[in-house]
Amino acid sequence: MTETAASEAGAGHRVPHPRLRVRQASVLDAPEIAVAISELLVELSGAGPPAAELVGATRELARDRGAGALLVAEAGGEDGIVGVLAASWQHAIHVPWRYGTIQDLWVHPNWRSRAVGRELLAAFFELAREEGAKRVEVGLPRESFENLGATEAFYLGNGFAPLGPRMRRKL
C-alpha cells in the first residue's frame, strides 16, 4: 500500500549501493519480513496485526506466486534484509488484463536514500511484465501521514500517475 522510503523521492538518478541485491523472498525470510512490515505499519498507523499473523501471511504469499509477488532487498553482511515489496495480482472488468497492486513497500530507515525502493520497484516491474501484467497500482497512505508528500513524490518520480483515492471496509 505504501512506501516509507520517502526520502528516496529524488533518488531517481542515484546508483544503487554495490552490495544491494533484490530477489524473490522465500518462506525462510518470513520472520524477518514480518518484522519489517510491522515497522512499516507502526510508522503508518501506530499498530498492526500480531507478529504471528504477519509471519503466516508472509509465508502464504512467498509460497503462492500466483497470488502475488514478495521481493526483498538484501545488503549482505550483517544488514540482512533492508527492503521489502509485497504485491498482489489483480483482475478487474475495467482493466482488461492482469495488473499488480503494491500492498507494502518498506525500506529500513538506515538504507533510505540509497535507491533501495527504486530497485525494488524495478524488479517488481520486470516480474509484472513476465507475469503478463500491463500496469501496476499503489495506494498512498492517509493524508495525516507525516511523509505523504515525499512518498507521493517518490512514486511520481518512478513513473506513477495519480489515480484517485481508495476506500476500504473491514469485514
pLDDT digits 0-9 by tens, 112-141: 989 999 999 999 999 999 999 999 999 999
Domain segments of the chain: what residues? 2-157
Helix/strand/coil (H, E, C) string of the chain? CEECCHHHCCHHHCCCCCCCEEEECCHHHHHHHHHHHHHHHHHHHCCCCCHHHHHHHHHHHHHCCCCEEEEEEECCCCCCEEEEEEEEEEEECCEEEEEEEEEEEEECHHHCCCCHHHHHHHHHHHHHHHCCCCCEEECCCCCCCCCHHHHHHHHHHCCCCCCCCCCCCCC
pLDDT digits 0-9 by tens, 53-73: 999 999 999 999 999 999 999
- CATH T-level topology, domain 2-157: Aminopeptidase (3.40.630)
